């Protein structure tokens, strides 16, 4: 009767078990892959769009360039923020321009008409408003919300169609495929 040496198999199984327990370690890779996809989608879908006066695509790209902090809640389980909305800007950040004269064009018909007929058609005025809005927002780019989801309500001009540059990158099937690929990399060579 022949016997087999199981030392190598046992070592490989221990390595596989450690890899499975460390699975949250793959989350930063998944987040970076997702961010890369969002960046590519944003560049392709938003470049040259002037729907949101003052939106700075280059600043937005900087704002989304790194994932949030990895939090491991227990062995094998963790979370990571893919997009940091505080860095990107929130709806409240967007609304900060409402208190600044001439920077917000919703409300009265006079404001809407001036925006539609005077400011928006004039590239120099539009650039001035963009600069003043950016001064209020600092490094944040809160218009990403309107660009992602679209905005046509309250007499918005021009209407902003939804671009779904984030939604298409974070669909469950896409994230699951990234997770499978990352897990396969862990077990490769075992």
pLDDT of amino acid 11 = 67
- pLDDT reading at 63 higher than 80: yes
Interval 142-158 mean pLDDT = 83
Total residue length of the chain: 190
Task: Give the pTM.
Answer: 0.76
Interval 28-36 mean pLDDT = 88
- pLDDT reading at 150 higher than 70: yes
Q: Are 104 and 97 in contact (CB under 8 A)?
A: yes
Return the closest-CA partner of residue 49 out of 138, 132, 165, 136: 165
SS (HEC) of 28-78 = HHHHHHHHHHHHHHHHHHHCCCCCCCCCCHHHHHHHCCCCCCEEEEECCEE
- pLDDT reading at 17 higher than 60: no
């Amino acid at each position: 009767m022949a016997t087999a040496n199981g030392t190598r198999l046992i070592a490989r199984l221990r390595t596989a078990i450690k890899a499975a327990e460390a699975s949250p370690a793959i989350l930063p890779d998944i987040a970076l892959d997702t961010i890369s996809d969002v960046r590519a989608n944003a560049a392709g879908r938003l470049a040259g769009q002037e729907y949101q006066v003052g939106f700075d695509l280059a600043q937005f790209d900087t704002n989304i360039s790194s994932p949030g902090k990895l939090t491991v809640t227990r062995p094998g389980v963790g979370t990571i923020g893919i997009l940091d909305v505080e860095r990107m800007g929130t709806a409240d950040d967007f609304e900060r321009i409402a208190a600044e004269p001439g920077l917000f064009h919703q409300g009265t018909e006079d404001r809407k008409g001036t925006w539609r007929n005077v400011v928006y058609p004039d590239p120099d005025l539009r650039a001035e408003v963009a600069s003043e809005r950016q001064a209020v927002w600092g490094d944040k780019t809160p218009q990403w919300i309107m660009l992602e989801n679209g905005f046509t309500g309250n007499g918005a001009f021009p209407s902003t169609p939804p671009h779904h540059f984030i939604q298409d990158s974070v669909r469950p099937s896409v994230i699951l495929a990234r997770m499978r690929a990352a897990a396969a990399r862990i077990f490769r060579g075992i």
